[in-house]
Chain A
Amino acid sequence: MDNDLSSQDKKDLDKFIKFFALKTVQVIVQSRLGEKICTRSSSSPTGSDWFNLAIKDIPEVTHEAKKALAGQLPSIGRSMCVEISLKTSEGDSMELETWCLEMNEKCDKDIKVSYTVYNRLSLLLKSLLAITRVTPAYKLSRKQGHDYVILYRIYFGEVQLAGLGEGFQTVRVGVVGTPIGTITLSCAYRTNLAFMSTRQFERTAPIMGIIIDHFVERPFGNVGHMHPCNYRAPGEEEGGYAGVEDSQEVCTTSFSTSPPSQLYSSRLSYQPPALGAADLCNPATCGGAHPHQMAVPGKEGGVPQVPMQPYHGAQAEHGRMPSCPAHDTAHHIPATPSSSGEDAETCSRSSEQKSAGLADTLETTFTRKVGAFVNKPTTQITTASLDLPFAAFAPRAYDLEENDPMVHPPDSPDTSSPLQGSLHSQGSSETGEQAQEDFVMVDFKPAFSKDDLLPMDLGTFYREFQNPPQLASLSIDVSAQSMAEDLDSLPEKLAIYEKNIDEFDAFVETLQ
């Protein structure tokens, strides 16, 4: 077994780490979109599902992540961090959590890159999926809407936890050892949600104005990327932005198992991406089979590698909508929402401009969902705009069959529209409505959203009805009386029922 990493392994490992970082960001941001995520399993590999997991790529998020990474990989002292914060309609904001992807020096030289590391990274992503639903910010993000929105910020370098307040907790999602260091993924989250402080670099003055605009314009929930404090000029963007999208790079991996009697070496081959990058074949060695790994038998290298048949499914299934009983219109699952949709919208509508050139205004890529049971906002948002949040729908045809996702300026930006009141939500997701370029004003009246209909808000309602008086029928004297009456009328009732027995039977049949 080689002690030094072969150059092939090193390339593979770097690639794995890079895509792992990008997928990590996607999972985190998507979990804070405020909607349920649902993706489909596919038994045939499509070639662009990294780590064998169906995780959609929101182009804007990938773009931000690549911008932050600027071609580097997490290494010792330079971690990739995703910061999630909350911003109220009054302009106060508060950091809720920071997810950190770090690398330390502890190397595991014996581990097999192409196989074990890849699978462990996949397991780590699954763990991340599970843990992102458990931290307190998840619940907050599901309820974002009128009162507040959830924002994200990606940065690279030193981890900054100061904004999380005192007593923040840390949860470790997991670690994966590699020959060049150990990758650690963890989350530090705020526990003290009491006080919100205004961020010092908050520069937008008419906060109300912005929020209203966002209500109007960005119905889909979620995460906007934050202000420019780590904005970088798109200087050395890795080739990807302009067209050759390496996130589109195919990642089908072939694993091999060889029965001990055969003299194959295992190998890993990648599909050549459409751009023609070379296949990677990994003449893996096998030395003493690592107990955790597949039985890779004897021979070192030397076996001629043949590229595996391409599974060019990239354009595919996995991008499409999930298994949830899927109706495009009805169940547009928000995972794919935002991003491209937002871009188009921002440009066309919002007062803020999108990242192109926005050095000093708050990033507009806010998307936010308005939830049911929204409290009457205490600010002076006009009634008119109260209707609009529900009414604003973005065009939905999100085209994930991109070959160049980054470049694909969404011609039909899609994104599911946020849910209106629970009256209209179906199953897990919210109903969406297609609107091409214009907004459609649909006058929904979710419960508790307006004063004039019901002169109290949810809190008051709840308090008032929390301790209802005892049911009259449960109090003794009344019940005794009615019992007596009941008993008397029983024979008559029975007679009637017996007469109608056929009807009842027919009814029961219809229930079967």
Chain B
Amino acid sequence: MNCRSEVLEVSVEGRQVDEAMLALLHTILLHRSTGKFHYKKEGTYSIGTVGTQDIDCDFIDFTFVRVSSEELDRVIRKAVGEFKDALSNTGSDGMGQISLEFYQKKKSRWPFSDECIPWEVWSIKVNVVNLANEQERQICREKVGEKLGEKVINIVEVINRHEYLPKMPTQSEVDNVFDTSLKDVQPYLHKITFQITDSLGTSVSTTMRRLIKDTLAL
């Protein structure tokens, strides 16, 4: 099975980077999270409830919906914060890419560590622009808002193709498919990584891995 990969591109102003990334990542995670599983005997399980929240952006004319989970939000914000810092710190011309990868774990025998097999990767390419005056910023607010709207529609389109999803695991396998460390929702196992490209367009050594809590990490 091949991992499916989707790429989204946005051009934003410096202070819009955080919100734009949050909007898109949360939209994807909204679709890739379920309620907590509660396994019962005889191999059945029931699923908790996922709540949602509307979030208004301050620097973009846009509102997005995310899962009501403070923990998950914190994790995503942290990753986005690091991405933004990297974008502004390096001598890059403001181009970078943040990736959200959903993976499954496959157990290997000792001494080999578990394999992580991605099944869906979303890459968001960001291009940071600088604007001269308030009027341009105002226009940018609206434009980026519209663009994000289009991206959300793209995301929904891809997800609604109902392509491969890992099959529902048994109780012993649940941590190989889902991230069970959060207390109110259960997203599929995922990790966020990013890369900053320098002005030559090549990827600089700042590829950073960030593993979201993986309960079985060896």
Contact = CB atoms under 8 A, between A and B. Distances in A.
Interface of A: 36-46, 49, 52-54, 115, 120, 123-124, 126-127, 129-131, 133-135, 138-139, 142, 171-176, 252-259, 262, 264, 266-267, 289, 291-295, 306, 308-309, 311, 318, 322-324, 428, 466
B167 interface: yes
B63 A130 contact: no
Identify the 10 closest CB pairs spanning chains A and B, nearest first: A294-B168, A174-B160, A256-B44, A39-B51, A36-B54, A54-B51, A134-B149, A43-B36, A41-B184, A41-B51
A129 B152 CA distance: 11
B156 interface: yes
Contact of A126 (B31, B53, B162): B31
Nearest to A35: B54
Interface string B43-54: 111111111111
B53 A323 contact: yes
Contacts of B34: 52
A467 B61 CA distance: 22
B206 to A, nearest CB: 30
Nearest to A139: B61
Interface string B142-171: 000000010011011101101011011111
A257 B47 contact: no
A337 to B, nearest CB: 14
B92 interface: no
Contacts of A292: 162, 164-165, 167
B142 to A, nearest CB: 10
A322 B49 CA distance: 13
B69 interface: yes
Interface residues of chain A: helix, strand, loop or mixed (majority): loop
A171 B157 CA distance: 10
Interface of B: 27, 30-31, 34-36, 38, 40, 42-56, 61, 63-65, 67-70, 134-135, 149, 152-153, 155-157, 159-160, 162, 164-165, 167-171, 183-185
A257 B43 contact: yes
Nearest to A303: B42
Nearest to A335: B54
Chain B CB within 10 A, most for which of A120, A252, A295 = A295
A289 to B, nearest CB: 8
Contacts of A115: 168
A254 B152 contact: no
A52 B48 contact: yes
A427 to B, nearest CB: 10
B170 A295 contact: yes
Contacts of B50: 41, 52-54
Contacts of A42: 35, 48-49, 51, 184
A254 B44 contact: yes
Contact of A130 (B43, B44, B156): B156
Contact of A291 (B135, B149, B164, B183): B164
Contacts of A256: 42-45
B44 A267 contact: yes
Contacts, number: 186
Contact of B56 (A36, A53, A324): A36
Nearest to B31: A126
Given A41-B49, A54-B50, A254 B160 contact: no
B170 A133 contact: no
Contact of A40 (B68, B157, B167): B68
24 contacts: A40-B51, A41-B184, A43-B35, A43-B36, A45-B49, A54-B50, A54-B52, A123-B159, A124-B160, A130-B64, A130-B65, A130-B155, A133-B54, A133-B63, A133-B64, A138-B63, A142-B63, A172-B160, A173-B156, A175-B160, A256-B44, A257-B45, A323-B53, A428-B56
Contacts of B155: 130
A115 B63 CA distance: 32
Contacts of A176: 162
Given A131-B152, A259-B170, A324-B53, 5 more contacts: A39-B68, A123-B162, A133-B63, A292-B164, A308-B40
B56 A255 contact: no
A133 B49 CA distance: 21
Nearest to B47: A52
Contacts of A254: 40, 44-46
Given A41-B35, A43-B35, A52-B35, A294 B46 contact: no
Chain A CB within 10 A, most for which of B50, B64, B69 = B50
Contacts of A324: 53
Contacts of A130: 27, 30-31, 64-65, 152, 155-156
Given A52-B35, A54-B52, A308-B40, A252 B46 contact: yes
Given A127-B156, A295-B170, A37 B53 contact: yes
A318 to B, nearest CB: 6
A40 B183 CA distance: 12
A172 B161 CA distance: 12
A264 B46 contact: no
Nearest to A267: B44
Contacts of A289: 167
Given A134-B152, A139-B61, A129 B164 contact: no
A311 B170 CA distance: 21
B46 A41 contact: no
Contacts of B135: 466
Given A44-B38, A45-B38, A172-B157, A129 B168 contact: no
B51 to A, nearest CB: 4
Contacts of B38: 43-45
Nearest to B135: A466
B184 A43 contact: yes
B53 A38 contact: yes
A13 to B, nearest CB: 17
Contacts of A252: 46
B188 to A, nearest CB: 12
Contacts of A255: 44-47, 168
Given A175-B160, A292-B167, A123 B31 contact: yes
A142 B47 CA distance: 33
Contacts of B46: 45, 252-255, 308, 311
Contacts of B183: 43
Contacts of B51: 38-42, 53-54, 318, 322-323
A38 B49 contact: no
A129 B30 contact: yes
